[in-house]
Structure 1
């Protein structure tokens, strides 16, 4: 059947509309694919060079959402073999070599094509802060050695840095609140909103050489040196943060022993924090190498000291209290110890690192009240050494020190930081939250890569989806309009001719 001229015009318009509509739809669907399909993954590497050991963390996130919340996840955690890098003073090159195995694991995980664009950082904390204070030349040599090793890797090494204590506490605060999703939340109405101040968690970190506390106080922060301010996701945060150098677990144990030696300068030391029946010998020379040990060293540092445990938790607590200067805060409500300003603790806290490891060993991470925790630790300290050894096989390295560590944590949190019977319940002893390890490394990487934006996150995926829907509606409207116009051109004259209008005939005078 041969088409009329008007029908040919209609078919041409229909073809043009279909072609243009199909082209626009393809472009919109390509854009929609970016919205609806999984995005490429990016990676970041952080070395945590602590006083007792180094750890590597690999983080990953969808490439199209780096400025949104809750998208960064931990892909790998690797503990470096050997001590912390501050221990390699005589052989700095080995500090760099010690990192190779964990770095190899990270490179195997990250696709080779993405190695060059993957940022890598090394942050050193209290161990290197102490070494820098004691011998800055040795500290520089170690930093140079690890930088040489890491700069030879195929990833984008951004450098090795010595973290200030305040920053270590602040980055821990960012990490825990990021992992918990408490910096910003997405409401049911489709808007990014700021969570109530009360949901922000405080951070309690106990390392080998220092301890950090960071939280949002109820009132103003009166000492600017303890204040850290951030603008995250369009909201301002002002937190209290302080790092107490020499109050980490390992340095506490060294200072405790030095104090006991000073009070009883004999070849045999009866140690109240070790279990009865425990016996060991050590050289005094190593004890006084730390800048944290400020007691007078004995004249004969070459002599070996024999230590016998007595399992006396009461005497152990008395010795631990000597490590603090509580009298300097007498009469001052907003004071921790050693004259350090601290507002009253408030809100929920997450205690990690050695806080967690010690209480996890003692089975005290289930929210037990303060009285129960105190009684449990005292009972543990009073067990004979033979019974403790039999109960915990394979844990010989740290086993003699859990009594002192447990009592020290109680003293630090209760008498030092000021947690009472009532506020103790607000402390969660945890290693992980939201699928990632709690520590300063995630907050550090987020800060250096700009992945926690100062401005509120744009609803990128939601906006792209709206654009897609609007585009589809626009194409549909365009097709209807074109087809409608073509239909009018083709069919309206025929309909009019059948009724007599426009055909040259006159209307029926007897019409309806």
Structure 2
């Protein structure tokens, strides 16, 4: 009879120990889950509507932001088919239609429940800036068509607008410094702000404009070239300027138009182009050169005639022709001046050069931080290659092949004579397309700045429940221990019988 009583008590205590232990384990797991799992990720969508094409980027960041700014990463990129939206002047609705496929792809990635709270923005850059100058009504029609299409999707559409050149440069600067960990980095288990001296400059070369942005050593004397940001609890003052009509495509067109104007006095004579390879020849309509407000025409020109162009492969004459597109004389006698009379403090620190800076130098195998004399020698030797040899050496790249010589020499003139880099500061420039797996451009910087306006996701309720959960956990832990000790005592006396 005694053995039966002890057996029942023993089994009861074991049951209590198992139940309380299981409860305690569940509470610990709930607590651990609430501590370790981040708040729901937030998403943002940005369209970069450039002069030659449009790209979509999806960014994500944890709901609990770091010092009022989201810790943003790139989740998706999608290249929109077709040209830039500024090309749809004859049918603006097609500008909006062209964006649908990429946006639909983005919404597959983002959880459906979060679609209505996903900020979506389209920023158009220099291509639309030029169109707005040329025909403001057409530019407004395109933006209206784009807005109408995007507003039909179940997202939080913030609008479509033409981005100011200064904003494009400044947001590019933010992107570079963010992805390099110069604004915020993770160290020893916590997020910290790096030293300000580590910041790098940004060099952007688009199709229609080019931007330079950096933090100078001294004060910025011209306030129109200064932008200020507050990111991750720190303030930044950045010099930035955008040069419209100095992007790659516009420079090439301006160069050809100038050479054409110089030769049109000789009726029917071909235009001899020093930046095109010797042996190259093409015929094109003269009127296509004058679609852009970057190119000024004279009434005497007959835009309906065709233009024959012959390459001479003379890099020295090409540099002379490129220099004529800059106004360097406007900076004579001024200590801090780039070109066209624009104020610029001396370049300072490391720089990242992206977009067409990178694409041109990548083609020429010049992205490995070669010394300036090697870069210059490589570009000149490429320019002096006969066209037939170039065509054979680079099959499948016919679209841009004739322009790499002019692009390479233009980059050298722009960086050395325009932005005032020297042989000593040249090694500070890195030519990159990506950093940290993220595309370099203005869109990430824009989203980082935008996240400062998005309310932080309330942390999960574990903080409010924390005390009660741990109290209950301790109670069940004590109960489990008492039950186990009681069962052990019963078992001991039971075995002594």
Question: Hey, what does 2:351 align to over in structure 1?
Answer: 349
Question: Hey, what does 2:491 align to over in structure 1?
Answer: none
Q: Conserved in 1, the CA contact under 8 Å of 2:27 and 2:469? A: no
CA distance in 2, matches of 1:75, 1:247: 32
Give the deviation of 1:108 after TM superposition: 2.6
Give the deviation of 1:39 after TM superposition: 4.9
Q: Conserved in 2, the CA contact under 8 Å of 1:67 and 1:451? A: no
Kindly report which structure 2 residues correspond to 1:172-251, keeping only aligned pairs within 5 A, or say none.
Answer: 172-188=172-188, 192-251=191-250
Q: Conserved in 2, the CA contact under 8 Å of 1:70 and 1:178? A: no
CA distance in 2, matches of 1:31, 1:67: 25
Structure 2 gap segments, 5+ residues each: 3-11, 486-497
Question: Hey, what does 2:292 align to over in structure 1?
Answer: 290
* Structure 1 pair 29–468 and aligned structure 2 pair: CA distance change class (3 A): farther
Give 3-state SS (helix, strand or coil) of 2:228's partner. Answer: strand
Q: Conserved in 2, the CA contact under 8 Å of 1:25 and 1:472? A: no
- Which runs of structure 1 show a deviation greater than 6 angstroms over 4 or more consecutive aligned residues? 21-25, 467-471, 477-481
* Structure 1 pair 307–69 and aligned structure 2 pair: CA distance change class (3 A): same
* Structure 1 pair 29–69 and aligned structure 2 pair: CA distance change class (3 A): farther
- For the pair shown, the structure with the greater C-alpha radius of gyration is 1
* Structure 1 pair 386–451 and aligned structure 2 pair: CA distance change class (3 A): farther
Deviations 1:179-232 (Å, cap 9, x if unpaired)?
1111023443x6644312221111110001100111111000000000010111
The normalised TM-score by structure 1 is 0.84
- Highest RCO, 1 vs 2 (Cα 8 Å, sep ≥ 6): 2
The normalised TM-score by structure 2 is 0.86
Question: Hey, what does 1:318 align to over in structure 2?
Answer: 320
CA distance in 2, matches of 1:70, 1:203: 21
Question: Hey, what does 2:441 align to over in structure 1?
Answer: 439
Further displaced range: 255-264 or 444-453: 444-453
Deviations 1:57-107 (Å, cap 9, x if unpaired)?
112233345768784221221111211111111111111111122222222
Q: Conserved in 1, the CA contact under 8 Å of 2:69 and 2:231? A: no
Q: Conserved in 1, the CA contact under 8 Å of 2:280 and 2:310? A: yes
CA distance in 1, matches of 2:24, 2:262: 85
Give the deviation of 1:40 after TM superposition: 3.5
Give 3-state SS (helix, strand or coil) of 2:402's partner. Answer: helix
Q: Does 1:51 align with 2:47?
A: no
Question: Hey, what does 1:252 align to over in structure 2?
Answer: 251
Deviations 1:379-424 (Å, cap 9, x if unpaired)?
0000000000001111111111111000000000111111111111
Give 3-state SS (helix, strand or coil) of 2:254's partner. Answer: helix
Among residues 390, 393, 417, which one is paired with 1:391 in the alignment? 393
Further displaced range: 323-332 or 301-310: 323-332
Give the deviation of 1:262 after TM superposition: 2.0
* Structure 1 pair 298–76 and aligned structure 2 pair: CA distance change class (3 A): farther
Q: Conserved in 2, the CA contact under 8 Å of 1:32 and 1:468? A: no
Question: Hey, what does 2:262 align to over in structure 1?
Answer: 263
* Structure 1 pair 71–446 and aligned structure 2 pair: CA distance change class (3 A): closer
Kindly report which structure 2 residues correspond to 1:118-157, keeping only aligned pairs within 5 A, or say none.
Answer: 118-157=118-157
Deviations 1:468-492 (Å, cap 9, x if unpaired)?
69975996499779x99xx9xxxxx
CA distance in 2, matches of 1:197, 1:394: 45
* Structure 1 pair 439–452 and aligned structure 2 pair: CA distance change class (3 A): farther
Cα root mean square deviation, aligned: 3.5
CA distance in 1, matches of 2:469, 2:204: 51
